[in-house]
Structure 1
Amino acid sequence: MSVFEVRVDRVLGVGPFCEIGQPRVTATSSREALIAVGGELIRPQWHGRDVSDRSRPNPGWHPTAVYRSGDLTCLFQLTTCWPVNALAFHPTLPLLAIGTGAYDGGWSYEGELLLLDLSTGATVSLLAYPREVRELTWQDPETLGLVLGIPCDEDEKRFGTTSLACSIRRDDWDRATVGMLRMPYGEKPYADASDTDPSVAAAVIERLCTERGRAWTPRRAVWAVQALADGRVLAALEGIAVECWTPTSEDCAWQVPAGGTGYQVNTLPDGRTALALTQTPRSFYGGRWTSEPSVVVEVDLNGGAVRTTLQAASPTIMVSRADGRWALRDTEHDTATMTGAVTLVDPEGAHPSTVQLGRYDLINHYFDIRYAPDLLFLQGMGNKPSHDKWVVAVDTPHGRVRRLFPLEWDASRGGHLFGGCGAYLDDRAGPALVHAGAVHDRAGLLAGNTFVARRKYPTGEPQWVFTADHQATSLDVDADFVYVTFNSGELIILRTVNGAVRTRQQLRVNGHRVVPLSLARVGANRLVIGTLDGRVLDCSVAALQRSG
């Protein structure tokens, strides 16, 4: 048996403060030796897919990092369940207070007061019950001043404000324990302040970088990566339809900017062309949300020139097969305008065919299968498209729909399965799909309710099933192994023949955990991984030991 380790050899798209995405708030220590930054990464969801579910408890998506001011080295990093509103270094002790929280949109003002020990890296949540923390001030070494959100909507009538101020005096901040601060806090009404202004934090970051001769270019969410035969790597992310990295340079070779976010990249069999799908954010106008159509650009891989641009009729996802044929599936969520159409794009430019597969749902219907011999989709019942989903193939050029097999392989459990990422392979065990997904439960994502399954193709019988606790974000295969990343930060390598685990590890950069969103093989024993914070990891897979 071989045991493997995935090593991060190069980090691309790196720069100062790359761990925190867009900054929201900053604080400096008393001697200005340290700077803390609360940032904002995007929730890992887009118009075609949602990979934000984790089984409980989970650390959330809102980063805070502490840096050494001199060289901007990241010393500590953590994520929280609520946005970071306030930071305050203790005046004498190696402690950082972190206030988080937000209104839930319907009743409660929830959040946490965290205390980060800067000597150990340990974090303690101090409040016995969740409350939004809006402002923090150390009034002296023993007294912490707080501005909290009211507990719930009905308290606004009683206090005449949504903010309450209090001071908590203790002599044991350096011995903090979970939930040690309990009500009552002696709160008094406090005038509501304006929301956190991210531009102030961004100005601080820019000034620090300029003073140190560094360039700050915020990046977020590498949603897709693809590998070329010569070792080059393509990536799609916020503001960039596609960018190209070479094996020999730390600098990006070229980029194709986008007005929105690059979500998908497919390379055509000619090895000279890439297709990149982008989408602008929804906008709120006239009392309703509106969405712009997706855009697909055809890019020359020799230098990044855009050859053609195709505007879809609506927000869409791109589905492709191994011979280069591709299609767009309508993902419009507006029940008044959605059509569920699949448009089969003709490479010769003839009028495209259209097939109706029913309404698309970003939780239920995502099914992106690498190397597939067919254009594969998930299709549900006509009046309840999220139910009774089948894997179907749509033939070109005329759009004949063939039902292959139910997504649920165990009819006895009556499960409601969600789609996911996957890949086609044909090895000594025969042709198969290896795909990820999740079993829906009304209590949220439960431990063990996500899976990676190998299914015979085209009949769908399960050959093995691997279960996990968090959603799979990306998957690729070779002749021997399945490589899967999860939104918990974990990477798992499975044997293709039987699903046996060959390695599982948390992905870290400079000792700090990262969340992988996308993954692709790049030749033998090499992977490239795109992260939630906008970096691209060039990794090698090394065998640690062998035994009989």
Structure 2
Amino acid sequence: MRMRLIPDDPFPEIGHPFTTDVSADGRWIAVSCYANGRDGRGRIAVYRTSDLALWDQLVLGRSVETLAFHPVLSLLAVGTGEGDEFEAQGGLHLYEPETRRRVDVEVAGAEVVALSWRDARRLEVTFSAPIVDYEDLGNVAYTRAVAERDDWSRVTADVLAARIAWPQAPAQVDWAAAKGPGVDAPQRYLAAVAAEHGTSWSRRSGPAAVEALSDGRVLVARPTGTLLECWAQDGTLLWSLPEPEDTFERSGCRLHVTPDEESVWITVLVGTSDNRRTRLCRFALADGAPLAELALDFPVVIAARTDGAWVARDSRDLFPWAHWPPGPSVVLTPTGRQLGTLELGECHTSFDLPVRRSPHLLFLYGDGPAGVQPPLLEKWVVRAGPEGIERLFPLSWDDSLGVHHGGPAVYVDDALGAGLVHGCTGRDGSYLVRRSYPDGAVVWAHRFDTGITGVDAHDGLVHAVTAGPACELLTLRGTDGAVLRRQPLALGAHVYTPTCLSAGPDGELLIGTAEGRIVRARA
């Protein structure tokens, strides 16, 4: 697969930068970052300042709490930690960019939460350990040790461990002083560095949805930061819509492009966690101009069919869970005219089944006695039409697998006839399954250790992407499920974390990533 990024700007591997520091000689930039959807381990990207190229990445077993370069040497100190009200574990790590040499020291019973070089000889290390008091949980005690060494180059793990083990004294933490020198606003700093090199950089949240248009343009919906972006085939940003000021937590989670590709509908969630509501906004694809707006009194997920009819369903995405009946789902035309309503019953994130390329309106429907919480309801694939709701087949095809959660799907029609290829989650893993349509018989199935985040089909092939830590792109033959290609979503030294997938009319794949970039992939 040939791959390239949209946008093609510096620091694409970062995602969200948390802490940044620069080496004393100005040659290296270290950025602690986290791509949502990976396996939760801390990650530090190291860049050369000369050309902003990625030099190395450190993947650490725990979250990165702090980092600081030595005041003279090109030596990075990193503190990590994880824990709760009862126990904690941490680590102290030293890294030399020039040689890529790394020293790791485990810290039992405490996190390493702050580091400060007092001078070229002394490294101040601050630890945090929980105070276990069942009547007043959540408090921590800070201690501090100062490791002294005349020459910090080529230090070994046993020497470093001995330097920080004793003595440790009770301490108060000055969090402002614990930050990297002069880099207390990583996003502004990285943008300024990019500008010095004649380019630009900004943090972008991982896309919730991407859509490939027939003329090569790419639509990107993001949950935060911007609402909607339109990119040209060459990677130029054509237009961008800002996130509405009244959005609540996240905005553009679902898209519906009208069949004529003249406009797009997008969800904007407003309100509060226990009373989310939705503005359905329609924009012109030519320039992003607003065309229409509909207001619904519930949080919406969108289902659509290929003729342009679409449904705004009450997702019940509330906290705490709603104690009132779900609202009727609204059936709409491409222009937003209401055709009617559907009673689709309870819903939950486990009912997610966004089906691409379907000539039918398909949903997951919950079945079970009154009082059963929505995630525990038996789920059926149903078809909605003028005659009402028709049950087709249960989501689970084998009770022993404990399949309980839907996933992305695509409707296919090939030599085997009509079928539904969908992701789902069971008791011990995730599955990509082809079901015959409309009876639901299993044609083929593959199991994965990580979730399926995107599925689409083109010219007899099924494409799918998986979440972290695997972060794979797969191509399968639609008829028998044979895996034709399986590879990490890697560009250069970094493996990107897929969040969504769309196949263009020419077979090019558009893959949204947790790092905020779009990967264009072509065989």
Decide whether the 8 Å contact of 1:145 with 1:166 is kept in 2. Answer: yes
The letter for the 1-side match of 2:126 is V
Decide whether the 8 Å contact of 1:161 with 1:192 is kept in 2. Answer: no
* 1:259-278 paired onto structure 2 within 5 Å: 259=244, 260-278=250-268
Where does residue 421 of structure 2 map in the other structure? 434
What per-residue deviation string (whole Å, max 9, x for no partner) do you get for residues 89-129 of structure 1?
A: 3567764332234664x544555434445356576653154
Using the TM superposition, give the Cα deviation of residue 62 of structure 1 relative to its aligned residue in structure 2, in angstroms. Answer: 5.0
SS of residue paired to 1:126: strand
Asked if 1:365 is matched to 2:354, the reply is: no
Q: 1:497 to 1:142 in 2, by over 3 A?
A: farther
Greater shift, 226-235 or 200-209, is seen at 200-209
Greater shift, 498-507 or 147-156, is seen at 147-156
Where does residue 170 of structure 2 map in the other structure? 189
Greater shift, 194-203 or 417-426, is seen at 194-203
Where does residue 286 of structure 1 map in the other structure? none
CA distance in 1, matches of 2:407, 2:456: 12
What per-residue deviation string (whole Å, max 9, x for no partner) do you get for residues 204-230 of structure 1?
A: 334434444443322121121111112
What per-residue deviation string (whole Å, max 9, x for no partner) do you get for residues 471-530 of structure 1?
A: 111111123221111112211111111111111111123321211111111233421111
Decide whether the 8 Å contact of 1:82 with 1:101 is kept in 2. Answer: yes
Using the TM superposition, give the Cα deviation of residue 152 of structure 1 relative to its aligned residue in structure 2, in angstroms. Answer: 4.7
Where does residue 443 of structure 1 map in the other structure? none
Where does residue 485 of structure 2 map in the other structure? 503
The letter for the 2-side match of 1:35 is I
* 1:456-535 paired onto structure 2 within 5 Å: 456-488=436-468, 489-535=471-517
Decide whether the 8 Å contact of 1:323 with 1:373 is kept in 2. Answer: yes
Decide whether the 8 Å contact of 1:295 with 1:309 is kept in 2. Answer: yes
SS of residue paired to 1:204: helix
Where does residue 29 of structure 1 map in the other structure? 23
CA distance in 1, matches of 2:136, 2:284: 61
Question: Structure 1 residue aligned with 2:141, among 162, 168, 171?
Answer: 162
CA distance in 1, matches of 2:436, 2:191: 54
CA distance in 2, matches of 1:15, 1:164: 42
Question: Structure 2 residue aligned with 1:85, among 52, 65, 90?
Answer: 65
Asked if 1:423 is matched to 2:404, the reply is: no
Q: 1:158 to 1:518 in 2, by over 3 A?
A: closer
CA distance in 1, matches of 2:393, 2:162: 55
The letter for the 2-side match of 1:335 is W
Q: 1:508 to 1:391 in 2, by over 3 A?
A: same
* 1:227-376 paired onto structure 2 within 5 Å: 227-237=212-222, 238-247=224-233, 249-259=234-244, 260-279=250-269, 289-331=273-315, 332-333=317-318, 334-337=320-323, 339-347=325-333, 351=338, 353-362=340-349, 364-376=350-362
CA distance in 1, matches of 2:138, 2:323: 44
What per-residue deviation string (whole Å, max 9, x for no partner) do you get for residues 65-90 of structure 1?
A: 11112332222234556543311235
Where does residue 48 of structure 2 map in the other structure? 68
Greater shift, 498-507 or 134-143, is seen at 134-143
Decide whether the 8 Å contact of 1:393 with 1:401 is kept in 2. Answer: yes
Percent of matched pairs sharing the same residue: 30
Where does residue 208 of structure 2 map in the other structure? 223
CA distance in 1, matches of 2:130, 2:242: 44
CA RMSD, 1 decimal: 3.4
Asked if 1:136 is matched to 2:124, the reply is: no
SS of residue paired to 1:476: strand
Instruction: Between the two structures, name the one with larger relative contact order (CA 8 Å, sep ≥ 6).
Output: 1
The letter for the 1-side match of 2:379 is W
Decide whether the 8 Å contact of 2:103 with 2:156 is kept in 1. Answer: no
Greater shift, 32-41 or 500-509, is seen at 32-41
CA distance in 1, matches of 2:103, 2:438: 51
Asked if 1:149 is matched to 2:128, the reply is: yes
The letter for the 2-side match of 1:246 is A
Using the TM superposition, give the Cα deviation of residue 278 of structure 1 relative to its aligned residue in structure 2, in angstroms. Answer: 3.1
Using the TM superposition, give the Cα deviation of residue 406 of structure 1 relative to its aligned residue in structure 2, in angstroms. Answer: 0.9
Using the TM superposition, give the Cα deviation of residue 433 of structure 1 relative to its aligned residue in structure 2, in angstroms. Answer: 0.6
CA distance in 2, matches of 1:514, 1:525: 20
Count of matched residue positions in the alignment of Structure 1 and Structure 2: 502
The letter for the 2-side match of 1:262 is G
Using the TM superposition, give the Cα deviation of residue 168 of structure 1 relative to its aligned residue in structure 2, in angstroms. Answer: 4.6
5+ residue gaps, structure 1: 1-5, 44-51, 53-57, 284-288, 441-445, 542-548
Asked if 1:452 is matched to 2:447, the reply is: no
* 1:178-217 paired onto structure 2 within 5 Å: 186-194=167-175, 200-217=185-202
Q: 1:433 to 1:157 in 2, by over 3 A?
A: closer
CA distance in 1, matches of 2:42, 2:138: 30
Where does residue 392 of structure 1 map in the other structure? 381
CA distance in 1, matches of 2:87, 2:204: 32
Q: 1:415 to 1:146 in 2, by over 3 A?
A: same
The letter for the 2-side match of 1:518 is C
SS of residue paired to 1:520: strand
CA distance in 2, matches of 1:340, 1:25: 43
Decide whether the 8 Å contact of 2:66 with 2:79 is kept in 1. Answer: yes
Question: Structure 2 residue aligned with 1:18, among 2, 8, 12?
Answer: 12
Using the TM superposition, give the Cα deviation of residue 203 of structure 1 relative to its aligned residue in structure 2, in angstroms. Answer: 4.0
Decide whether the 8 Å contact of 1:299 with 1:308 is kept in 2. Answer: yes
The letter for the 1-side match of 2:231 is W
Q: Compute the TM-score of the two structures, normalised by the length of structure 2.
A: 0.85
CA distance in 1, matches of 2:435, 2:343: 26
Using the TM superposition, give the Cα deviation of residue 369 of structure 1 relative to its aligned residue in structure 2, in angstroms. Answer: 1.1
* 1:103-118 paired onto structure 2 within 5 Å: 104=84, 106-109=85-88, 111-116=90-95, 118=97
Using the TM superposition, give the Cα deviation of residue 149 of structure 1 relative to its aligned residue in structure 2, in angstroms. Answer: 1.3
Where does residue 247 of structure 2 map in the other structure? none
CA distance in 2, matches of 1:295, 1:61: 36
CA distance in 2, matches of 1:355, 1:503: 41
CA distance in 1, matches of 2:108, 2:479: 48
Using the TM superposition, give the Cα deviation of residue 418 of structure 1 relative to its aligned residue in structure 2, in angstroms. Answer: 1.4
Decide whether the 8 Å contact of 2:227 with 2:252 is kept in 1. Answer: yes
CA distance in 1, matches of 2:173, 2:305: 55
Greater shift, 454-463 or 197-206, is seen at 197-206
CA distance in 1, matches of 2:138, 2:482: 59
What per-residue deviation string (whole Å, max 9, x for no partner) do you get for residues 252-308 of structure 1?
A: 11122222432222222222222222335x86xxxxx44542332212222222211
Using the TM superposition, give the Cα deviation of residue 140 of structure 1 relative to its aligned residue in structure 2, in angstroms. Answer: 6.9
CA distance in 1, matches of 2:194, 2:48: 12
5+ residue gaps, structure 2: 245-249
Where does residue 55 of structure 1 map in the other structure? none
The letter for the 1-side match of 2:332 is D
Using the TM superposition, give the Cα deviation of residue 450 of structure 1 relative to its aligned residue in structure 2, in angstroms. Answer: 1.2
